[in-house]
Amino acid sequence: MDRLSPLAGVSATREVLESHGLVTKHALGQNFLINDDVLKRIVALADLSPSDRVLEVGPGIGTLTIALLKSAGRVTSIERDRDLPAVLTETLSEWSDRFFLVQKDALDFRLDDLADDGVDLPNKLVANLPYAVAATIVLDFLQRFDFLESATVMVQREVADRMMAAPGTKTYGAYSVKLSLYAQPNGRFPVSPGNFFPPPHVESAVLRLDRCVAVDEDGSALSAELLKATCVMADAAFANRRKTLANSCKTYFSGAGGQYPGAVDGLPAIYRHAQIDPKRRGETLDRGEFIRLGKALVELSAKHRIR
């Protein structure tokens, strides 16, 4: 099979960097993919077609971007390194009519940044993410951008474990609960350090997450208010990991300041309305039970105006 990206190799990567007088920047989490077979597996897992419009974070020198442009109809990439736009102009010149670059930190990315794109919004996130912010970016983008149907991302193996953790496992936590409200895993494969230049000191994994619609026990989609409240209860339940709900939630809401005045006194009513034993620990609760806790928080907030 033909190579997807001519940049997927150590020598090619070095040549591009050296021609622009650049070196890899550890502070920005730059580890460039150098295995074309991994690129093929990413594209296959993302299930890309010419009708897809991809959003990419951290294109680097364009190694994965080229593979995406060969498989999708349009790619919009977000890059914070000010030295790389000139590189991308060169490496992606063949696809300049289907490539759009947003020069900023992905953590500061807003919908308005796509205003100059002039085409339909992206429908898939596909990226080799900077590992230090990977978990934050995935949850944030799925929460804020409902036009994203899926996210196929390269992350640290431990982060992938958290993303797909089940109740009762050691990696299950508030993040696992919150992400499950927006997406469900649909495929994963490992990637060893030798597939990068320079090799990272961690194992990696590519994980696909498909957007889902969280529903309550009646089958009704959760409102934005209920989604937020459920996320709050997940954070509260794991404020003191391996402590009971009663202890952990009390710690959380005691430090919530004025955001939830009166919530500490209202916790017994929340547990009662949600039919959850406060002696249980957060890691034993499934998504449905957290939704019940969120619903109870919303109801109590409306009654006592503890917003």
CA distance to 197, 204, 207, per residue, from 156 (Å)? 15, 4, 10
Instruction: Check residue 117 and give its pLDDT.
Output: 57
Residue 164 confidence class, pLDDT cut points 50, 70, 90? very high
pLDDT tens string 186-216: 999 999 999 999 898 999 999 999 999 999 8
pLDDT in the model for residue 304: 66
CB neighbours (10 Å) of residue 151?
26
Numbered ranges of CATH 3.40.50.150 in the chain: 10-211
Mean pLDDT of 28-47: 91
Quickly state the pLDDT bin for 1 (edges 50, 70, 90).
low
Give the pLDDT band (50/70/90) at residue 306.
very low
CA–CA distance, 114 with 104 (Å, rounded to integer): 12
pLDDT at position 118, please? 60
**Alpha carbon 151 to chain centroid, angstroms:** 7
| Whole-number Å distance between alpha carbons of 52 and 41 | 17
Average pLDDT, integer, range 173-186: 98
Q: Which residue has the tokens 């992606």?
A: 92
Domain 10-211, CATH 3.40.50.150 — does that match? yes
β-strands 74-79, 99-103: how paired? parallel
Radius of gyration of the chain (CA): 21
**pTM for the whole thing?**
0.93
| Residue 307 confidence (pLDDT) | 44
Rounded to whole angstroms, how far apart are CA atoms 46 and 207? 9
Ranges for all domains in the chain classified under CATH 1.10.8.100:
224-304
Q: Does domain 224-304 have CATH number 1.10.238.10?
A: no
pLDDT of 24 over the 80 cut: no
